[in-house]
Structure 1
């Protein structure tokens, strides 16, 4: 019998659908997601629609400048009553500046987990970009040719979402569905990607829906209008002086 050469054997392996990707571990899939979603630094404009159980909807527009999980500056540009309101995040503290009354308020700790403008996106969700691979252990729970489902457990049970279940698009390396749980493993909120786009060297979610599991018929839709990655920045861009400065940031 003729022996199979290494090159021929490799060719056979590559011809079997999904075999190469099936060998990836849960943490390798998580690394792939992090490479797409973690923003070392970015500037963006966005819009947010909040749907309340009463049927009322509120819409907002904003712009932001973020640096990983260290700094973030967000400003509402619409509606008129909220325009100019700014949020500055530095590590685990956040300041909100209200231009109409020229007042700054500090929020920290568990207050960062409250929803911005009554939305399903917390202050923390809006201003933090952290690598999941640094925070969680991961286990594959299901896999098909196109998707892989992973269960995440935090290394620190005091974080906002100690457990997560995520579904990853294997071709693009994007988490298309995320179900967040509290420490007792009760579902809190679900995030679904409605649209993703190739931007620079990554696939990035540009339209998402966040749906509450605590309040019936309450959801938030968040759309990225424009985003630029790896933008230069100075630490002075993220100070209280910058927060309260009139004009562009």
Structure 2
């Protein structure tokens, strides 16, 4: 069947318009900004919160309660309120440095960068996880891998590779962020050799102060069946009036 030349011209023009529209839509997706917004839901400019951590093992479980203060990405202070054995322990992060105050022995311990991958209080969270030493938006290059359905949410699946000079503990992170709400719903953490170390599942989405966010985090190690640690945000206030001077070694000994 021979079609007129102008038909083919119109068809070609239509195809070019569709390709151009698709390309334009793709360019509108700012992956770095998506990661930043999902990450910032847990940060704010500052915050004061109350959290519960449940460490689950095949034959036992343990619950730790704490208060947490943050200022930006560089300052964090965690005060343990229960159980009695650990009550009064304080963890402080200032910029790239981290300390632990242990009142029972009245000792201030500096935690070196080499220990950021170590377990925090016997849990499946690392020291890095708890003080959020790294920023997913600033310390990693982001790449969109595609889209996947996760717990009734359509999510961006994003690969994060650390910058060469970034002081981070992971060789690669895969994140799932809901397209509409920008909730961080899942993350897989890989070591430098590409082996899966931990999977983090985020759920129980609620209103917390001025935002809607996941309030339950489960960290599940890849090679320890039956082990996981649950972190629950019981209460959190964002963008509170808190000074840099609050985050000091002197205040670690006074805080209650």
- Fold in common (TM above 0.5): yes
The answer to whether 1:48 aligns with 2:53 is yes
The answer to whether 1:151 aligns with 2:156 is no
The answer to whether 1:63 aligns with 2:67 is yes
- Counterpart in 2 of 1:114? 118
1:177-188 correspondence runs (5 A): 177-188=186-197
Q: Distance in 1 between matches of 2:209 and 2:196?
A: 34
Classify 1:144/1:87 alpha carbon distance in 2 versus 1 (closer, same or farther; 3 Å).
closer
- Counterpart in 2 of 1:30? 35
Tell me if structure 1 keeps the 8 A contact 2:39–2:184. Answer: no
Shift of 1:20: 6.5
Residue 39 of structure 1 is aligned with which of 20, 41, 44? 44
Shift of 1:144: 5.0
1:68-217 correspondence runs (5 A): 68-128=72-132, 130-143=134-147, 146-156=154-164, 159-217=168-226
Q: Name the SS for the 1:33 alignment partner.
A: helix
Q: Distance in 1 between matches of 2:248 and 2:167?
A: 27
* Contiguous gaps of at least 5 residues in structure 1: 1-12, 14-18
Alpha-carbon RMSD:
2.3
Q: Distance in 1 between matches of 2:103 and 2:96?
A: 23
1:153-180 deviations in Å (ceiling 9; x for gaps): 1113752112111111112101100001
- Counterpart in 2 of 1:7? none
- Counterpart in 2 of 1:4? none
Q: Name the SS for the 2:129 alignment partner.
A: helix
Shift of 1:185: 1.2
Tell me if structure 1 keeps the 8 A contact 2:66–2:80. Answer: yes
Shift of 1:102: 1.7
Q: Distance in 2 between matches of 1:200 and 1:129?
A: 24
TM-score by length of 2: 0.81
Tell me if structure 2 keeps the 8 A contact 1:38–1:130. Answer: no
* Contiguous gaps of at least 5 residues in structure 2: 1-17, 19-23
Q: Distance in 2 between matches of 1:97 and 1:105?
A: 6
1:124-168 deviations in Å (ceiling 9; x for gaps): 211126542211112221215822111111113752112111111
- Counterpart in 2 of 1:231? 240
Tell me the number of residue pairs that the alignment of Structure 1 and Structure 2 aligns: 229
